[in-house]
Structure 1
Amino acid sequence: MTKGRVTMFGPDFPFAYDDWITHPSGLGAIPADRHGAKVAIIGAGISGVLAGYELMRMGVRPILYESGQFGGRLRSQAFEGAEGVIAELGGMRFPVSSTGFYHYVDKLGIDSRPFPNPLTPAAGSTVIDLFGETFYAETLADLPPLFREVAQAYDAALEEGANFSALKQAIRDRDAARIKEIWNPIVRDWDERTFYDFVTSSRAFRGLSFKHREVFGQVGFGTGGWDSDFPNSMLEILRVNVTECDENQRFMVGGVEQVPQGLWRHAPDKMVHWPAGTTLASLNGGATRPGARKLYRGADGRLTITDQWGRTDSFDAVIATCQTWLLTTAVETEESLFSHEMWMALDRTRYMQSSKTFVMVDRPFWKDRDPESGRQVMSMTLTDRLTRGTYLFDLGDDRPGVICLTYSWMSDALKMLPQPIERRVELALAALEKVYPKARIRDHIIGDPITVSWESDPNFLGAFKGALPGHYRYNHRMFGHFVQDALPDHQKGLFLAGDDISWTPAWVEGAVQTGLNAVWGVMTHLGGKSPADNPGPGDRFAEWGPVALPG
Structure 2
Amino acid sequence: MIPSRPQPIRTTQAVDRLPDFPFDYGAYLAREPSGQRKFIGTLPSAAEGREVAVIGAGASGLIAAYELMRMGLRPVVFEAEIDAAGRPRIGGRMFTRSLDPADPAKAEMGCMRFPTSASLQRQYVEEFGLTYELFPDPFVTKAVGLTTVDIDGRQYSASDITEFYARYPQFAEIGRAWNQALELVDFSALVKAIESGDTDDVKRLWNPLVQRYNTISFYEFLVQSGAMTAEQIRVFGLVGFGTGGWDSFYDISWLEMLRLLVTGMDTDQMLLVEGASAFAEGFWKHAPDDVRHWPRGTSLASLHDGGTPRGRVVAMEGNRARTGWIDITVEDGRTETYQAVLLTPQLHAVETQIALPRNFPPDSGQLPLFGDKLWNSIHKTSYWQSAKTFSMMPAPFWTDGSGTYRMGVTLSDSLPRATYVFDYGRYSRVPGGNRASIALSYTWAEDAMKVSASTPAERVRLFGRELARVHPELSHDIQANCRPDNSVTISWENEPNFRGLCKFNRPGQYELQWNLFSHFMKNQVDGEPANNLFLAGDDISWSAGWVNHALQSGLNAAWGIARLAFGADTSVNPGPGDMWEQFAPIHPTELRSRDDNTTRS
Alignment of structure 1 residues 423-438 onto 2, 5 Å: 423-438=458-473
Q: Which residue of 2 aligns with 1:290?
A: 311
Structure 1 unaligned blocks of 5 or more: none
Q: Using a 3 Å threshold, how does the CA distance of structure 1 residues 481 and 349 change in structure 2: closer, same or farther?
A: same
Q: 1:82-133 CA deviation, whole Å, 9 max, x = no partner?
A: 5232210000001011111111111101001100111111121100000010
Q: Which residue of 1 aligns with 2:138?
A: 118
SS for the counterpart of 1:423 is helix
Distance in 1 of aligned mates of 2:205 and 2:319: 46
Equivalent AA in structure 2 for residue 166 of structure 1:
A
Alignment of structure 1 residues 229-308 onto 2, 5 Å: 229-285=249-305, 286-301=307-322, 302-308=325-331
1:369 deviation in Å? 8.1
Q: Which residue of 2 aligns with 1:77?
A: 97
Distance in 2 of aligned mates of 1:475 and 1:249: 26
349, 363, 383: which one pairs with 1:326?
Answer: 349
1:520 deviation in Å? 0.3
Q: Which residue of 1 aligns with 2:153?
A: 132
Q: 1:490-537 CA deviation, whole Å, 9 max, x = no partner?
A: 432000000000011001111010000011000112343454342100
Q: 1:454-487 CA deviation, whole Å, 9 max, x = no partner?
A: 0000100000001000111111110111101467
Q: Using a 3 Å threshold, how does the CA distance of structure 1 residues 392 and 278 change in structure 2: closer, same or farther?
A: same
Distance in 2 of aligned mates of 1:366 and 1:324: 40
Distance in 1 of aligned mates of 2:162 and 2:528: 61
394, 400, 409: which one pairs with 2:435?
Answer: 400
CA contact (8 A) 2:409 2:419 kept: yes
Residue 528 in structure 1 maps to residue 567 in structure 2 = yes
1:38 deviation in Å? 1.2
SS for the counterpart of 1:155 is helix
Deviates more, 1:270-279 or 1:400-409: 270-279
Q: Which residue of 1 aligns with 2:479?
A: 442
507, 532, 535: which one pairs with 1:469?
Answer: 507
Deviates more, 1:61-70 or 1:422-431: 61-70
CA contact (8 A) 1:76 1:88 kept: yes
Equivalent AA in structure 1 for residue 341 of structure 2:
V
Equivalent AA in structure 2 for residue 388 of structure 1:
R
Q: Which residue of 1 aligns with 2:51?
A: 38
Distance in 2 of aligned mates of 1:267 and 1:198: 48
Q: Which residue of 2 aligns with 1:315?
A: 338
Q: Using a 3 Å threshold, how does the CA distance of structure 1 residues 466 and 216 change in structure 2: closer, same or farther?
A: same
CA contact (8 A) 1:94 1:250 kept: yes
1:30 deviation in Å? 1.6
Residue 383 in structure 1 maps to residue 403 in structure 2 = no
Equivalent AA in structure 2 for residue 448 of structure 1:
N
SS for the counterpart of 1:127 is strand
Distance in 2 of aligned mates of 1:368 and 1:329: 50
CA contact (8 A) 2:370 2:528 kept: no
Deviates more, 1:496-505 or 1:74-83: 74-83
Q: Which residue of 2 aligns with 1:26?
A: 39
Q: Which residue of 2 aligns with 1:340?
A: 372
Alignment of structure 1 residues 492-503 onto 2, 5 Å: 492-503=531-542
Distance in 2 of aligned mates of 1:81 and 1:34: 41
TM score, norm. by length of structure 2: 0.87
Distance in 1 of aligned mates of 2:180 and 2:98: 43
Aligned residues: 543
Structure 2 unaligned blocks of 5 or more: 1-9, 33-37, 82-88, 359-367, 591-601
Distance in 2 of aligned mates of 1:402 and 1:46: 25
Q: 1:339-378 CA deviation, whole Å, 9 max, x = no partner?
A: 10110001100000000000012311212289xxx97321
Q: Using a 3 Å threshold, how does the CA distance of structure 1 residues 530 and 201 change in structure 2: closer, same or farther?
A: farther
Equivalent AA in structure 2 for residue 20 of structure 1:
Y
Distance in 2 of aligned mates of 1:118 and 1:321: 33
TM score, norm. by length of structure 1: 0.95
CA contact (8 A) 1:28 1:528 kept: no
Alignment of structure 1 residues 130-279 onto 2, 5 Å: 130-143=151-164, 144-160=168-184, 162-205=185-228, 208=229, 210-221=230-241, 223=243, 225-279=245-299
499, 515, 520: which one pairs with 1:482?
Answer: 520
CA RMSD of aligned residues (A): 2.0
Q: Which residue of 2 aligns with 1:106?
A: 126
